[in-house]
Chains A and B, each alone.
Chain A
């Protein structure tokens, strides 16, 4: 525990002290300029990493935010005589504002459309900076004076220390934020936006907040950039810079503050590396060797595809050959960046720090932080008294897809404390019904009441906040998060600390409580020992159980299990039965969608049978099994026997 804290915090402090001490030891304005740029790029890349690494969105607007922040700071000094802190606050504010404005429309999209939106925003911001000559002086460029801070005028080392101080503050704040519920939410929505909403976390709001934060840091870095160079031109913030920034994040390593710092150092030094021929040859040769070694290792261990091993070698090979034959490396700058980026993206997707982290953890034998003792289940999931009153009422619920009546007028009541089975052949509307109830689809008609109050329609997020939780038939886990984090991200009524406290690192108490509570739920489904495993590395059965534990973290009154036994081996089915019984004992009502008739018979007091979007039978398991309409639906009559499914079969 202490060793870990000492090593990690120690490395951070040492790096900070080292960087801060260089100006005292070396009196060289050129070195100082590089260091200042490093600190500024550090802030910028930490911001970009939030979008690219944590939110998993290709953000092509960070260079534009740097430019907007720079102009905002420069102009606020020129026109309003702002001091340094006010101007930097202005730059941060402009970044936040434009980031939010862009995020609202753009973040409803995923993938290419989002990248395109940010690309357009960059182009638009470049056009505006160029053409609004009355304000920015356009291509002619804007002179910026470095204003005083707290009445003092800063010389070059002083300004560097200011940049370094801000980098350290941003570093600490982001470390606190990203290891809190916010960071988990960012990663959760990257892995499964649907499940993030269904766990009541709110995909959209976290995405917008994360992107605005990333842009705000871009703006802040822009303010520092303006006061560092004291001369601004719109074309400095264009496509070239954006590519370099992406190179920094990808090369340094995504989802890592250290990665951002390493990336920032590399891109600050890059121009020098290119202008010195011998240095460039040496670096490309090292690159080739690394690519060869990594490729050979990957191929031998069979962890990479041949393309992943060969393509980086080819790219670095071209770079080595090029470093000897081209006349002027400066002319080929873009191609050099492109080849390096290509090799890293294909061959070393985790970046330098991702690669080094495994290695360092082994070298120093750093143990992961210890887990607290699980909380008592009674505090996490208090027993509810089942009063038998109407919990969920559906009245004439309908959902059509074009002409297909997937759910065609279902009315049923789930009473508090019961395990209500919902069965029916494939395509009978079970999953659609669940998707309508849980808010994924808006109903075409009918009404839904939970404890007599209308259930929100068409919003997973709002439904999740009413005390209803669900699992997914096709698993929707947050693959990159640990099992523990999967449960923690969904925990209800735990995270109360306001954002400023989180940023200052003063929310550790609730983190510990959340961890203990999540462990109790993992224990309930038998996954306590796997708490640290990534969800994607769990066995299939354990992934199903993890989905249940995660849904329980919502502390639901009503739990909907969508085919929890699908694809489970027999021992796991028995385990599942035990888990469901334990959940039921705590007074939680359950809707169970299942194909396994033995599971239904053993657990359900009431069974509703659907076919063709309508209810064809209801009653106890024994009653519906004997119902001729049910037998017909499953086994079919003589004319449609082929392709029907027997109720006892797995779905």
Chain B
């Protein structure tokens, strides 16, 4: 019985870890093209979820709410790129770290005042009655999260590999200067990556909202773990984030069982600092050669 309980905890945690992986994947998209990430990504997740909730409250059907939320995420992503990232990249400075933090704070404050500080439930057509697999309970809701995450990442990867625009994306990721010499606009491609990253954040928000409830603080812990997953796996690790996401999700679920729920965040944070100490480029990342 005890072993079963442990496995149950690990499985539920791991499924939740898929959400971290998806948000971390959003970091990878922008890091690939511009070597920058949005420190306010959590606010994108949260704002998209709140916006979707408003659409539901207005009586829109679920199949319209999802694209509406996704579009909102894209718009936010593009805004972050324009207001917070482009200037800093043009000046080759790291000002984008501070600027994206600032934009995130602005989004957080706006959410507090527009939607209120309370957490609200997010209705979903998907059932949360558990299914049983070999004595382990999994809800269709949790499964929908896992399937959604894999589907989104798969589709984006397909887009990158099969479409012309996607190939431009890959070209800029590989070598920005060379791509520009070939007539690919790096600025547009970076814009595209921020749009995609916003899209991915919105999907993460909509997927996770029925489980976590929706409110301004819904993403503040999610995002810390997504950072951990991204850094531990490596910011250029591709699907490595999924493995690390599963692992971290399971680990923190067990930590909160053994040490108390207050320590839930600790393993991710410790892992991040350790990973940086031992493998700065991440477990699945590539070490780059210093050039002078």
Spell out A's residues near B (CB within 8 Å).
Answer: 56, 58, 102, 104-106, 108-109, 111-113, 115-117, 119-121, 123-124, 127-128, 130-131, 194, 239, 243, 246, 250, 305, 307-308, 311, 326, 331-339, 341-342, 345-346, 349, 401, 435, 440, 472-474, 476
Cα-based distance from A335 to B107 in the complex (angstroms): 8
Cα-based distance from A435 to B280 in the complex (angstroms): 22
Cα-based distance from A317 to B232 in the complex (angstroms): 41
B120 sits at the interface (CB 8 A): no
Cα-based distance from A98 to B90 in the complex (angstroms): 35
CB distance from B117 to the nearest CB of A (A): 9
Cα-based distance from A102 to B106 in the complex (angstroms): 29
B95 sits at the interface (CB 8 A): yes
Q: Known pairs A440-B290, A473-B292. 9 more at Cβ < 8 A?
A: A117-B276, A120-B228, A124-B265, A124-B266, A243-B101, A246-B98, A334-B109, A335-B106, A349-B95
As a 0/1 sequence over residues 216 to 227 of chain B, the CB contacts with chain A under 8 angstroms (1 = contact) are: 000010001001
Cα-based distance from A250 to B98 in the complex (angstroms): 10
B37 sits at the interface (CB 8 A): yes
Residues of A within 8 A of B83 (CB): 311, 342
Interface residues in B235-292 (C-beta closer than 8 Å to A): 235, 260, 262-263, 265-266, 268-270, 272-274, 276-277, 280, 289-290, 292
Residues of A within 8 A of B29 (CB): none
Closest A residue to B270 by beta carbon equals A124
Q: Is the CB of B105 within 8 A of A334?
A: yes
Residues of A within 8 A of B86 (CB): 307
Residues of B within 8 A of A307 (CB): 86-87
Which of B265, B274, B280 is close to A108, meaning CB atoms less than 8 Å apart? B280
Q: List 13 A-B contacts (CB under 8 A).
A: A105-B276, A111-B35, A117-B272, A120-B269, A127-B266, A127-B269, A128-B266, A308-B87, A335-B105, A335-B109, A338-B109, A345-B98, A476-B292
B99 sits at the interface (CB 8 A): yes
Q: Is the CB of B273 within 8 A of A337?
A: no
Cα-based distance from A27 to B83 in the complex (angstroms): 47
B103 sits at the interface (CB 8 A): yes
CB distance from B108 to the nearest CB of A (A): 6
CB distance from B80 to the nearest CB of A (A): 12
Cα-based distance from A56 to B95 in the complex (angstroms): 10
CB distance from B215 to the nearest CB of A (A): 15
Q: Is the CB of B273 within 8 A of A106?
A: yes
Closest A residue to B87 by beta carbon equals A307
CB distance from A333 to the nearest CB of B (A): 7
Residues of A within 8 A of B274 (CB): 105
Q: Is the CB of A111 within 8 A of B94?
A: yes
Cα-based distance from A260 to B276 in the complex (angstroms): 30
B127 sits at the interface (CB 8 A): no
Cα-based distance from A249 to B7 in the complex (angstroms): 49
Q: Is the CB of A337 within 8 A of B105?
A: yes
Known: A58-B98, A250-B98. A440 touches B292 (CB 8 A): yes
Which of A120, A127, A473 is close to B262, meaning CB atoms less than 8 Å apart? A127
CB distance from B233 to the nearest CB of A (A): 13
Residues of B within 8 A of A113 (CB): 231, 235, 276, 280
As a 0/1 sequence over residues 150 to 172 of chain B, the CB contacts with chain A under 8 angstroms (1 = contact) are: 00000000000000000000000
Please count how many residues in chain B sit with their CB below 8 Å of the partner chain's CB atoms. Answer: 47
Cα-based distance from A102 to B134 in the complex (angstroms): 44
Spell out B's residues near A (CB within 8 Å).
Answer: 31, 35-37, 39, 83, 86-87, 90, 94-95, 97-99, 101-103, 105-106, 108-110, 112-113, 220, 224, 227-228, 231, 235, 260, 262-263, 265-266, 268-270, 272-274, 276-277, 280, 289-290, 292
Known: A338-B102, A473-B292. A119 touches B97 (CB 8 A): no
Q: Is the CB of B97 within 8 A of A127?
A: no
Closest B residue to A122 by beta carbon equals B269
Residues of A within 8 A of B260 (CB): 131
Q: Is the CB of A346 within 8 A of B99?
A: yes
Q: Is the CB of B224 within 8 A of A474?
A: no
Cα-based distance from A341 to B99 in the complex (angstroms): 8
Cα-based distance from A273 to B98 in the complex (angstroms): 24
Residues of A within 8 A of B108 (CB): 334
Cα-based distance from A124 to B220 in the complex (angstroms): 14
CB distance from A477 to the nearest CB of B (A): 12
Residues of B within 8 A of A332 (CB): 109, 113
Cα-based distance from A341 to B97 in the complex (angstroms): 13
Residues of B within 8 A of A338 (CB): 102-103, 105-106, 109
CB distance from A250 to the nearest CB of B (A): 7
Cα-based distance from A390 to B105 in the complex (angstroms): 63
Main secondary structure of the interface of B (DSSP, over half): helix
Q: Is the CB of A112 within 8 A of B224?
A: no
> Which among A56, A130, A307, A474 has the greatest number of chain B C-beta atoms within 10 A?
A307
CB distance from B173 to the nearest CB of A (A): 16
Q: Is the CB of A115 within 8 A of B105?
A: no
Cα-based distance from A5 to B87 in the complex (angstroms): 39
Known: A112-B97, A333-B109, A335-B110. A120 touches B272 (CB 8 A): yes
Cα-based distance from A472 to B292 in the complex (angstroms): 7
Cα-based distance from A117 to B220 in the complex (angstroms): 16
Which of B97, B102, B262, B273 is close to A105, meaning CB atoms less than 8 Å apart? B273
Q: Is the CB of B263 within 8 A of A104?
A: no
Q: Is the CB of A116 within 8 A of B102?
A: no
Which of A106, A128, A342 is close to B276, meaning CB atoms less than 8 Å apart? A106
Q: Is the CB of A474 within 8 A of B292?
A: yes
Cα-based distance from A122 to B186 in the complex (angstroms): 35
Residues of B within 8 A of A105 (CB): 273-274, 276-277
Cα-based distance from A116 to B265 in the complex (angstroms): 15
Cα-based distance from A401 to B287 in the complex (angstroms): 12
Cα-based distance from A90 to B63 in the complex (angstroms): 59
Cα-based distance from A406 to B103 in the complex (angstroms): 46
Q: Is the CB of B270 within 8 A of A194?
A: no
CB distance from A569 to the nearest CB of B (A): 23
Q: Is the CB of B113 within 8 A of A331?
A: yes
Cα-based distance from A331 to B113 in the complex (angstroms): 7
Cα-based distance from A117 to B292 in the complex (angstroms): 27
CB distance from A394 to the nearest CB of B (A): 20
Q: Is the CB of A130 within 8 A of B262?
A: yes
Which of B87, B99, B106, B227 is close to A339, meaning CB atoms less than 8 Å apart? B106
Which of A102, A239, A333, A476 is close to B273, meaning CB atoms less than 8 Å apart? A102
Q: Is the CB of B97 within 8 A of A58?
A: yes
Which of B99, B105, B266 is close to A243, meaning CB atoms less than 8 Å apart? B105
Residues of A within 8 A of B99 (CB): 342, 345-346
Residues of A within 8 A of B102 (CB): 338, 341-342, 345
Which of B37, B265, B273 is close to A127, meaning CB atoms less than 8 Å apart? B265
Residues of A within 8 A of B224 (CB): 119-120, 123
Residues of B within 8 A of A243 (CB): 101, 105
Q: Is the CB of A305 within 8 A of B270?
A: no
Residues of A within 8 A of B270 (CB): 124
Residues of B within 8 A of A127 (CB): 262-263, 265-266, 269
Cα-based distance from A342 to B101 in the complex (angstroms): 10
CB distance from B130 to the nearest CB of A (A): 30
> Which among B36, B262, B263 has the greatest number of chain A C-beta atoms within 10 A?
B262
Cα-based distance from A196 to B110 in the complex (angstroms): 44
Closest B residue to A104 by beta carbon equals B277
Q: Is the CB of B227 within 8 A of A116?
A: yes
CB distance from A226 to the nearest CB of B (A): 23
CB distance from B156 to the nearest CB of A (A): 21
CB distance from A330 to the nearest CB of B (A): 11
Closest A residue to B86 by beta carbon equals A307
Closest A residue to B31 by beta carbon equals A112
Cα-based distance from A116 to B292 in the complex (angstroms): 26
Residues of B within 8 A of A341 (CB): 98, 102, 105
Closest B residue to A307 by beta carbon equals B87
CB distance from B115 to the nearest CB of A (A): 13
Residues of A within 8 A of B276 (CB): 105-106, 108-109, 113, 117
Q: Is the CB of A120 within 8 A of B227?
A: yes
Q: Is the CB of B90 within 8 A of A305?
A: yes
Closest A residue to B216 by beta carbon equals A334
